[in-house]
Amino acid sequence: MSLYLSCLTLAADHNRTRSELDHPYELHRTICKAWQDPEAARILFRPETAPGVVRVIVQSLTPPDWSRLDVAANYLKAHDGPKEVRLDGLQDGQALAFRLRCRPSKRIGDPGNDDEGKRKSLRTREEIFDWLHRKAVENGFKVEEAAFDRVYWHDSKEGKDPKPLGGVVFDGILVVTDPDKLREAVRNGIGPQKAFGFGLLSLAPLRE
């Protein structure tokens, strides 16, 4: 199974960059222009920031053509890739470093609740780690160690500047328990709202 990874470097001080980081669905719309058929590409992405630096990791099932973006040169500073990646080498018991930007949440199912059917972010540390361990069991791995940072965003599909919603970025070590399930988790992403930059599970060898 092949995947394609790219890394976009955006101008940190550009108004468009700042707006898209706060409203990541708009960043998704920009990225999708690199494909003639974005739905078939099954795009996952994750923005990553450091002082003065904004990078966007993009994964897809088909290769993008970044020249299709038609954006200003002072917005997109550089792009690396697409690089073809294969996951055939995953093995049961293998330990790997991982990063996952996600929205641990649950749907409100209380009959008569005005918010019935809506998704509610999990907020406590215990709830968030319970969610991660449940997803690990479902997706062919177990978590050896993990820590997370909180991130906030706006759902620009629901109107202009609604209240911030919360997600997290996990970094840690996992152990493969079912290579086929884990390959599918990498391919399809984990958790909801992938068009907002959530769900991309990145794996890497452990550093010695």
> What are the tens digits of pLDDT across the range 27-80?
999 999 999 999 999 999 999 998 999 999 999 999 999 999 988 889 999 999
Stretch (H or E) spanning 26:
helix 24-32
- Domains along the chain? 2-86 (3.30.70.1200), 95-204 (3.30.70.1210)
Question: Can you read off the two tokens belonging to residue 148?
Answer: 């997370």
Closest CA relative to residue 44, chosen from 172, 178, 205, 191: 191
Give me the phi and psi of 23, to 5 degrees please. Answer: -125, 75
pLDDT (0 to 100) of residue 100: 98
- Average pLDDT over every residue of 87-114: 85
Q: ∠ CA(5), CA(204), CA(142), 5° rounding? A: 115
Long-range CB pairs of 66-69, under 8 A, 24+ apart, other chains included: 66/6, 66/8, 66/34, 68/33, 68/34, 68/35, 69/30, 69/33, 69/34
pLDDT (0 to 100) of residue 110: 56
- Average pLDDT over every residue of 113-131: 80
Q: List for the chain the helix, strand, coil content (%; round to 5).
A: 25, 40, 35
pLDDT digits (tens, 9 = 90+) for 150-198: 988 776 665 555 667 789 999 999 999 999 999 999 999 999 999 999 9
